[in-house]
Amino acid sequence: MTRVVLATRNPHKVEELREILADVCSELGLEIVGLDAFGDVPDVVEDGVTFEQNAMLKASAAAQTTGLPALADDSGLAVDVLGGTPGIFSARWSGGKGDRANLELLLAQLGDVRDEHRSAAFVCAAALVMPDGRSAAELGHFQGSVAREARGGGGFGYDPVFVPSGQAAGTERTLAEYAAEEKNAVSHRALAFRALVPHLKEHLRP
């Protein structure tokens, strides 16, 4: 097995990526591990101005620190009527007060916005950096809209207010109401990392 480090300390994200890339991990003999497997790894300052830049910063640092091929992602919610924000500031939209505060602030900002103008997209950049410096990055966009209230107990972040496009009228669910396997089949992270698969095959095939 070839170990590949995902630049996160969140075990949920590690497990989610293992599910998303299960086929390619089996094909290439890859084992995805998180940063917790390597002890005290310093945090990376995410000072990029795009999702791609921040994902690349995290993957580069993980590759340099561990000496292994490294994956990372950076994602957020881009609301059209807000000019694409929260965007790269999604996790810190309320000033670092956490997911609940982020949701409440966003819903308050959109309180008077009509349903037809609440379109949004989850955006994810996935990056691969090899120990020798070779790298690649891909983007995934997941279209939807912002609900008027939070619903569902699954997922994290903005999932409880994000309604994916393409659902039948009257049956719309937020992403937090999706089962984990449903989300992993269609999400922005799934789209971005699956777009990265050709690069994984190019750089990590035995």
Task: Please tell me the distance from the alpha carbon of residue 193 to that of residue 29, in angstroms, as a whole number.
Answer: 17
Number of Cβ within a 10 Å radius of residue 158: 26
Active site residue 74: yes
Q: Is cis: bond before 206, omega within 30 of 0?
A: no
Q: Count Cβ atoms within 10 A of the Cβ of residue 103 and give its class: 0-12 exposed, 13-18 middle, 19 or more buried.
A: buried
Sheet arrangement for strand 135-146: 30-34, 2-6, 70-79, 119-129, 135-146, 162-164
- Comparing CA positions, the residue from 78, 49, 55 lying closest to residue 193 is 55
Q: Which of 47, 74, 99, 112 is catalytic?
A: 74
Active site residues: 74
